[in-house]
Amino acid sequence: MADFGMVDKCSDAALQIRRDIIDMTYATGNTGAHLGGSLSMAEMLSALYVGRLRYNNENTEWEERDRVILSKGHAALALYPAMVQAGILEREQLDEFKKNGSLLSGHPSLNGLRGIEFASGSLGQGLSLGVGVCLALKRKNNDKSRVFVFMGDGECDEGSVWEAAASASHFGLNRLVAIIDTNGIQYDGETDAVLNMSPMGEKWKSFGWDVIELDGHNVEALIDAYDMKNDKPFVIIAKTVKGKGISYMENNWRFHNSRLSKMQYEQAIEELETIL
């Protein structure tokens, strides 16, 4: 069970991640950013990066480190602030998000940025990458590292996801953890309307995975899930709210990818400051 001190630390980090998401988006001006699906991931990223990630800031090539793959790469807007909370990036670096020449691009890129090991953003590819990384670790007899793959529920429409799921089970990759941000909304609309994949948990079980379904905004539940030991590949189906934390963004598809006016920005900051 996660201790209360760690739960509080991760919860505070999630709130700061949301504040950073709003600040970074507003700073992009007319460019905007992927707000909704980044805000929904704050707790699942803080619970990992602050609570449970095996990473050595003094030795970024440490063989026993965990690997993180942000398959839903458009949520880099949430990933970078989480890395700040873990001490991997410096807070000042967030000011460079999406600027010309910046290492903090709209999707994770292999451009030398500390803590980013995998480029991503082409949906449906991250789990296959995770399978390959796990196979490599297994052949090196590395039973310490885990591979965490963050995905979106809309991303699970992709057939490549299920090819990777079958492969992970076939090869017995019990160090592979998939976390699905199940916020119910994708770019084209509600996920059930675009392509109904329910019941999601039963589908993963049928592919030979261990499955847990939980509240993706419950830090304690997330930490406990990250602590689970499994004999099979493991998927966490995290039920979340798109745009979580900002009243006018919650469950609003218009903020899947959007810019912020001055009034919208000020309202968002005011709402977050009542919690921070």
Each residue's pLDDT tens digit, 54-96 = 999 999 999 999 999 999 999 999 999 999 999 999 999 999 9
Average pLDDT over residues 110-139: 96
How buried is 159 (Cβ within 10 angstroms: 0-12 exposed, 13-18 middle, 19+ buried)? exposed
Give yes or no for residue 261 having a pLDDT over 70: yes
Tokens found for residue 132: 């390959």
pLDDT in tens, 93-107: 999 999 999 999 999
Domains of the chain in start order, with CATH, are: 4-273 (3.40.50.970)
pLDDT in tens, 182-220: 999 998 889 999 999 999 999 999 999 999 999 999 999
pLDDT at 243: 97
For 115, left (φ over 0), alpha (ψ -120 to 50), or beta? left
Q: Return the C-alpha torsion angle 23, 191, 71, 34, nearest 10.
A: -20
pLDDT in tens, 153-182: 999 999 999 999 999 999 999 999 999 999
pLDDT at 95: 97
- Please, which pLDDT band fits residue 116 given cuts at 50, 70 and 90? very high
Average pLDDT over residues 9-28: 98
pLDDT at 113: 95
> Which stretches within 105-239 are classed as H helix?
126-139, 159-170, 191-194, 200-206, 219-226
Partnered with residue 235 across adjacent β-strands are 178, 211
